[in-house]
Amino acid sequence: MRSPLSPRAISGLHYTVRQTFLISRRGISTSRNMSYALTSDGSVKHTPTNRPTLPPDTVGAANGPSAAAVDAYLTSKLAPKGQWADDPILEECRRRAAEADMPEIEVSPMQGQFLAVLALGLKATKILEIGTLWGYSTYFLARTLPAHGQIDTLELSPVHAKVANENFLALDLYPFPKVHVGPALESLQKLDIPGTEEGLPAHERGYDLVFIDADKERMYEYFQEALRLTRKGGIIMCDNAVRGGRIALEENDNPSIDVTGLRKLYDWVEQDQGKTVLMSGIQTVGHKFWDGFAIATKL
Ligand SMILES: C[S@@+](CC[C@H](N)C(=O)[O-])C[C@H]1O[C@@H](n2cnc3c(N)ncnc32)[C@H](O)[C@@H]1O
């Protein structure tokens, strides 16, 4: 069965599975608002679009530990003392972000370490990130790089970029992440495939890993640019790929922009039929509620 959610997983919900395998549910409200708006002082106003909620079949606090408590437990066990997610400088960075009134929308500590595991496993030397915020995910990615490595991170807000640069200095990151300020699509279109200028052979040119975590409405466009810039065998990882399950809901009357961007990407992957990429979608719960990653490799 190709339905994205089994009837059991959505028991209690009103649903119908159509030929398109979308699921409709009563009572879902959506928003057409832009999720990020650049203000005149260079900061970004973030309007949360329908915060994802826990899936109905997730064990809640009433029956046992909450997903957030499990996240905290895993972090306490899996972050090496004083390093990676437990690096004490990160608290100072988080404070700097709070003082600049930045939204708390960075990846979780365990997601950050997951990115680091991925980059280390790939032996990545060239990494691209779309969506910097205060540099939390950038920190995990940059720490995996060898001295000759390169990390580019794209951010719309000059205020976010400034805080991120201060944090990178405080964290003593080397190689130092290069923040490209401006609308990510414009920055992406200006980026050359890394290694081209140095005359590397074609199979060695391109980013090893791209992490997409900016405005969700342009997910498809970011993915296409990421494909252009990634080497064969490289990994493209998209955050917020499930949005509380709303990607699988029938919302044609009132589509929310963060979901339509993702659907455009998934429709493209469906049409591609494994010619250009192989992608997987992984649902996650945690202190950020119910969401997920879409992860692809360029074939
Ligand atoms: C979810 S946050 C990134 C979180 C970061 N990756 C982390 O986990 O630490 C999204 C960021 O994307 C930025 N952003 C939003 N729209 C953008 C655009 N069109 N171009 C570039 N950056 C954008 C926002 O200002 C925000 O800082």
| Local mean pLDDT, 10-residue blocks, the chain (299 residues) | 37 31 38 73 82 57 74 96 98 98 96 98 98 98 98 98 98 98 98 92 94 96 98 97 84 71 96 98 86 97
| Ligand 1 atom nearest 240 alpha carbon | 1
Q: How far is the CA of 161 from the centre of ligand 1 (A)?
A: 10
Cα(236)–Cα(248) distance, integer angstroms:
22
The gap between the terminal CA atoms of the chain, to the nearest Å, is 26
Pick the CATH number of 36-52+70-298 from 3.40.50.150, 3.10.180.10, 3.20.20.70, 3.30.230.10: 3.40.50.150
Cα(261)–Cα(256) distance, integer angstroms:
9
Coil, helix or strand at residue 92: helix
By the 8 A CB rule, do 47 and 57 touch?
A: no
Q: How far is the CA of 118 from the centre of ligand 1 (A)?
A: 21
| Ligand 1 atom nearest 44 alpha carbon | 25
The predicted structure's pLDDT at residue 2: 36
Q: Where are the beta strands (DSSP E) in 29-156?
A: 36-38, 44-46, 126-130, 150-155
The predicted structure's pLDDT at residue 121: 98
| Ligand 1 atom nearest 183 alpha carbon | 20
* Structure confidence by residue, pLDDT tens digits, 100-129: 999 999 999 999 999 999 999 999 999 999
From 38, 43, 44, 130, give the residue whose CB has the most ligand 1 atoms within 8 Å, as the site to mutate: 44
CA 293, distance to chain mean position in Å, is: 7
Residue with CA nearest ligand 1 atom 14: 214
Q: Among 125, 121, 116, which residue's Cα sits nearest to residue 145?
A: 125
By the 8 A CB rule, do 261 and 216 touch?
A: yes
Cα(131)–Cα(214) distance, integer angstroms:
4
* Structure confidence by residue, pLDDT tens digits, 33-45: 568 899 999 999 8
**Number of other CB atoms surrounding residue 13 within 10 Å:** 17
Q: How far is the CA of 284 from the centre of ligand 1 (A)?
A: 20
Q: Tokens representing 193? A: 């495939």
Q: How far is the CA of 3 from the centre of ligand 1 (A)?
A: 31
